Amino acid sequence: AWLWPAAAPDPALVEATRFFRAGDGNPGADPALWGQWWPFVTMLWATWVLLPRVLLCGLAFAQTRQKAHRLLASHPAMHALMYRMETPALDTGNSHHDADDLPDTRMRDNLLPLPDSDTLLCWAGTGEPELPEALRSGKQLVLRAGGSASLADDNEALQRIAEHLKNRSKAVILLVRCWQPPTGELQDFLETARDIWPSGTRVALVPLAADINHEPGAHQIQPWLRFAERVGSEFVQVSLPPFQMRDPYSAVGEPL
């Protein structure tokens, strides 16, 4: 009654609507009196039908969230995640902190003359469809590796070169495409070659331009010079094709 006073029926309404007799001989029954019960019926439904369902729904939702939170907090991976999120930095176990290291942008000028060798290795389709005469002349062993070649083909090329170098000059000319960056596949190939080929063997990387009759651009030579340093300058060198050698610093390719 305190929430909606009109919903509490007065005694007069209760007395007047206590009985209802259907029929024509009932002059004291006024059907409109029963319409005054609608506030009471509304509050009855709101109190005993709607309100319990709302309370039960809220209680079930709260219990579900509480149980999910409890299960998530006790999950083993949650502790590792919280530790990771609360840790300001990752500990890699490396004592060297390289956050302040700048990339190596030094220009190299350590091009070496092309060695005298009768062994020519074309990497990843370099020199196709035809090698220039200056590179092909005098070569007794011309092989291909990398690119579309299988690992078995690469291993066969390594073994054939190793056998060929036993009684000859220990130098191998390796042709590459200057516009393609050095790959990990090539580095792995050279590391394997270092172990298989005779001691003291040197590899001359020769970057070829798209037009094999012209020298590569200076900006295309620098990545190969840096690659040779990473592999080891005692094993790998970079040489230009047997044209006129030029300064790798020069953007226009002025002759040395």
What are the pLDDT digits (tens) for 149-199?
Answer: 888 999 999 999 988 888 777 889 888 988 888 888 999 999 999 999 988
Note whether residue 104 is domain-resident: no
CB 249 within 8 A of CB 218: yes
Residue 112 lies in a domain: no
Domain hosting 148: range is 119-238
Are 75 and 124 members of one domain?
no
Instruction: Tell me whether residue 125 is in a domain.
Output: yes
Would you say residue 143 lies in a domain? yes
Same domain (yes/no): 78, 139 = no
pLDDT the model gives residue 29: 57
Residue 91 lies in a domain: no
Which residue in 15, 41, 11, 10 sits closest to 30, CA to CA? 15
The pLDDT of residue 66: 93
Together in a domain, 155 and 232: yes
Same domain, 138 and 66: no
Cross-strand pairs, 238: 205
Q: Is the pTM of this model over 0.75?
A: no
User: What pLDDT, in 10s, does the model give residues 25-72?
Assistant: 555 557 777 778 888 888 888 888 999 999 999 999 999 999 998 888
* 81 and 133 belong to one structural domain: no
**Domain edge (last residue) among 62, 86, 110:** 86
Model confidence pLDDT, tens digit, residues 205-232: 888 888 777 788 888 888 888 889 888 8
Q: Are residues 132 and 215 in the same domain?
A: yes
User: In terms of domains, do 128 and 76 share one?
Assistant: no
> Do 6 and 56 share a structural domain?
yes
How much of the chain, in percent, has pLDDT values that exceed 70?
Answer: 80
In this predicted structure, the answer to whether residue 141 has a pLDDT above a threshold of 70 is yes
Task: Indicate whether 3 belongs to any domain.
Answer: yes
Q: Looking at the 3D structure of the chain, how many domains does it have?
A: 2
92-116 per-position pLDDT tens digit? 666 666 666 666 666 667 788 888 8
76 shares a domain with 129: no
Rounded mean pLDDT of the chain?
80
- pLDDT tens-digit series, residues 156-167: 999 999 888 887
- Judge whether 40 and 7 are in contact, CB under 8 Å: yes
Is there a single domain that holds both residue 159 and residue 227? yes
